[in-house]
Amino acid sequence: MMSVLGGYDDLRDYFGKDKAGQTGTTYTPVITIFSVAALLSLAFQYVVSGDFISVRTLMLFIAFSMTLLAVQKLKDLYSFTNSFITYDLLAMKWLRYGYIYPFIEAYAGIGMIAQLPALAVAPFSLFIGTVGAISVFKAVYIDKRELKCACVGGNSNVPLGFVSLSENLFMIAGALIMWLM
């Protein structure tokens, strides 16, 4: 019987409906972040130079993606770190790295947008991207573990795999492009 103080979930139960919301694994958060980052990059580059597509557009996409992903992680640093330590090789050995990582990611992304000198930004992006790529590759493709990715925060249902590896490869590419520009 439905209680007097029943809410939305109680009504769903009363009418025999499942709980609201998405269940199971999903790529929606990552697709949303990458889509917004791509649109921001195109808009920003167009306003600045009148061109949509350039190497700078790619750099902006990487930078906006990193920054938006860092914000997701920073929303709940504790949950992020608890998820991150299940696969990141450095965070497994040094827990504080899990707490520092989103700040480094945000710094590198914002530094790329601001076009700070490569020596001030690229080493950070290269470091976290390389450690992340090795960690994801080992966990998914060598150890064959099925884990949730901490890339959009600790409470997501995004599976660890190709998308996570791509995120880390983007960070490496961003660092290398900074040094070449």
Residue 16 domain-assigned (yes or no):
no
In a domain, 13, yes or no: no
Q: d(Cα 167, Cα 96) in Å, to the nearest integer? A: 21
pLDDT band of residue 22 (cuts 50, 70, 90) is low
Q: Is residue 126 part of a domain?
A: yes
Is 35 part of any domain? yes
User: Does residue 4 lie in a domain region?
Assistant: no
Structure tokens at 145: 């573990």
18-30 mean pLDDT: 76
User: Mapping DSSP to helix (H, G, I), strand (E, B) and coil, where does residue 5 land?
Assistant: coil
| Number of domains within the chain | 1
Kindly state whether residue 106 falls inside one of the protein's structural domains.
yes
User: Is 56 within 8 Å of 179 (Cβ atoms)?
Assistant: no
pLDDT of residue 23: 66
What is the distance between the alpha carbons of residues 1 and 58, in angstroms, rounded to a whole number? 57
List pLDDT tens digits, range 111-139: 999 999 999 999 999 999 999 999 999 99
For the CA atoms of 14, 17, 19, 20, what is the dihedral angle to 10 degrees?
-110
Check whether 87 has a pLDDT greater than 50. Answer: yes
pLDDT of residue 13: 77
**Is residue 72 domain-resident?**
yes
Range of the domain at 168: 27-180
Q: How far apart are CA 170 and CA 172, in angstroms?
A: 5
Amino acid 69: pLDDT: 96
Nearest-angstrom CA–CA distance, 166 and 30: 11
Instruction: Report the SS3 class of residue 90.
Output: helix
pLDDT band at residue 39, thresholds of 50, 70 and 90? very high
pTM, two decimals, is: 0.86
Q: Is residue 7 part of a domain?
A: no
The DSSP output letter for 52 is: S
* Dihedral class, residue 114 (left if φ above 0, else alpha if ψ from -120 to 50, else beta): alpha
Residue 3 pLDDT > 70: no
